[in-house]
Amino acid sequence: MRAGDIRLSYTDPMTGQAPRSTRYRETQYADLDGVVLVVRHAHRSRSPLWSAKPYMDHLHGSAYAAWAQHLKAGTGHGLVFAHIRRRDLLEQIAQTVGTEEWVHARDAWMSLPRDRWWSGRRFRAVRSGPRRWWALPADPNRDTQRGP
């Protein structure tokens, strides 16, 4: 994967809406291999840091402890990225996608319990190419092909 293949969107792919407040914080989303990354940048600040973390709004309360245990085990960075420049952040993500470390972290992420009362979209539209769209389940627990 190349950094140019990563498409950032201002629309939350899980809810279909733009973030409520964008004041002094730019929030974008990238859907890579079934994992939605939230890319943030605090503009108009002294920190030029760009960061990317997995989308966490749809997780069950017990999932945070399980994810912290995964990070504490030292089995990779756990789908968390940071860099000073946007271009370098996207390059860092592109180099990691598809590696053994990415697959291990993605499988651990997909096995976390989702909140069954979460009111996001049930499916999200994904584009594979020109005029090629399909719907993927927003909840991997209901997905028979990519489930935990």
pLDDT tens for the chain, residues 1 to 148: 788 888 888 888 877 777 766 667 788 898 888 888 999 887 766 667 889 999 888 888 788 888 888 778 766 667 888 888 888 999 999 998 888 888 888 888 888 888 877 656 556 666 677 766 666 666 666 555 554 4
Q: Are 97 and 54 in contact (CB under 8 A)?
A: no
Task: Give the integer Cα–Cα distance in Å for 52 and 81.
Answer: 5
Helix segments in 5-99, DSSP class H? 63-72, 86-96
- Calculate Rg over the CA atoms of the chain: 15
Report the pLDDT value the prediction gives residue 91, as an integer from 0 to 100.
93
Hunting for tokens 């993605």 — which residue is that?
106
pTM beyond 0.85: the answer is: no
Q: Are 84 and 56 in contact (CB under 8 A)?
A: no
- For 3, the enclosing helix (H) or strand (E) is none
Q: How many CB atoms lie within 10 A of CB 140?
A: 19
Q: Are 2 and 91 in contact (CB under 8 A)?
A: no
Report the pLDDT value the prediction gives residue 145, as an integer from 0 to 100.
57
Burial of 62 (0-12, 13-18, 19+ CB in 10 A): exposed
Task: Give the integer Cα–Cα distance in Å for 148 and 143.
Answer: 9
